Amino acid sequence: MLTLLGGTAAVLTTGLPSSAGSRVPDDLLPGGAFDRFVAAQAAAGAFSGSLLLTRRGHPVLARSYGMTDKQRAVPNGPGTRFALASVTKLFTATAIAQLAQQRKLAYGATVGEYLTGFPAAIAGKVSIHHLLTHTSGLGDYQQTPGFWDKAATWTSRTAVMDGITDFIRQSALLAAPGTSWNYSNSGYHLLGEIVAKASGQSYYDYVSEHVFRRAGLLGTGFYTRPQRLADSTIARPYELQPSGEHVDIAKSLLYVGTPAGDAFSTCADLARFANALSGAKLLDPAFTQLTLSGKVPLPPPVGPPPPQQPPVTPATLFQGYGPMVGLVNGRSTVGHGGGSPSASTSIETYPDDGWTVAVLSNYGEPNILPIVSLARRFITAG
């Protein structure tokens, strides 16, 4: 492990067995064009975080740059846990699929069959299918006037879950359910509430036991604000200021992450989760295929794009039951991205070639987009 650019650069060189298929492109090997590009981004102050490229479960390249905690001079490394932003939605979607597999819920069931206090337009019309595919017509509770003032008073997981749900109860639909795709944090929060109702456990306990533990994710969890402030392995969130300085905003974020965003994980755990999900270790084969297949073709974007979704042609991009599913240069992709003023994240798998690409940053979006795009270009070029 080498000290480099205020962070660490780690190379995993276990190599691929001969059964792994065609050789890894030179551009993706340590010292190749991709590696050099990431180093240049970090040197320019444009990237702080970690990345991991694996092929058929074998590591090809791992890199970490920048600082976990600038004040304490703690560098990012392979064990650094980053806020996942909306990549967290994949855990929520997996929990829903597990409970559907157990026949504890149905994709066609409505919100009102599990949760109380919602107006008829939501309770009787919005289904789990709509919530999973961002076609519910619900928007983003974070944009509700007064949300962040109220959220600053929440100091428990229960208060966060109940408080957000109350805001969503008072919200109006942006569109009739099933008529359009609108990326929705509110929809995925309600999925977390349905997980709790259908399972009899809190959302956090269910996901910890049945998703994280089952997939072998030892460095992944929903950490509270006191835990995040005290643990030097959890990356501080840095927001870019007009001055060009990145400022730590850890004390202003939610007390704990939600079903819609901000579980914390490492690149290795995120790749492990992606392989467990695609390898039918978290769901049986039928529900794995159901979760990872496209359900709704995405139209050309209107207005600001959703947080860091794979930038492929809309005609080849579909919403699955959680992940985005698409084609890039004739190659299948499955993944999800996430972004906020202090986080930028992506996990992508390439089922045709066995690649997994995890990139996590404690700088805000869109700082990893050039990195994710270049990896995609090299993987799908052949």
**What's the chain's length in residues?**
382
As a whole number of angstroms, the distance between CA 132 and CA 100 comes to: 13
As a whole number of angstroms, the distance between CA 100 and CA 250 comes to: 36
Sign of CA dihedral 368, 374, 377, 380: negative
Q: What is the pLDDT of residue 351?
A: 93
As a whole number of angstroms, the distance between CA 16 and CA 22 comes to: 10
The three-class DSSP label of residue 205 is helix
Q: Is the pTM of this model over 0.85?
A: yes
Q: What is the pLDDT of residue 301?
A: 53
Q: What is the pLDDT of residue 7?
A: 37
Inter-residue contact 149 to 97 (CB < 8 Å): no
Q: What is the pLDDT of residue 327?
A: 87
Contacts of 116 (CB under 8 A, 6+ apart): none
Contacts of 8 (CB under 8 A, 6+ apart): 1, 2, 64, 65, 75, 76, 77, 78
As a whole number of angstroms, the distance between CA 281 and CA 98 comes to: 11
Q: What is the pLDDT of residue 2?
A: 26
Q: What is the pLDDT of residue 311?
A: 45
As a whole number of angstroms, the distance between CA 380 and CA 382 comes to: 6
Q: What is the pLDDT of residue 3?
A: 25
pLDDT tens series, the chain, 382 aa: 222 323 333 333 333 433 334 689 999 999 999 999 999 999 999 999 999 999 999 999 999 999 999 999 999 999 999 999 999 999 999 999 999 999 999 999 999 999 999 999 999 999 999 999 999 999 999 999 999 999 999 999 999 999 999 999 999 999 999 999 999 999 999 999 999 999 999 999 999 999 999 999 999 999 999 999 999 999 999 999 999 999 999 999 999 999 999 999 999 999 999 999 999 999 999 999 999 999 999 876 555 554 444 444 334 889 999 999 998 888 899 999 999 999 999 999 999 899 999 999 999 988 899 999 999 999 998 6
Q: What is the pLDDT of residue 304?
A: 52
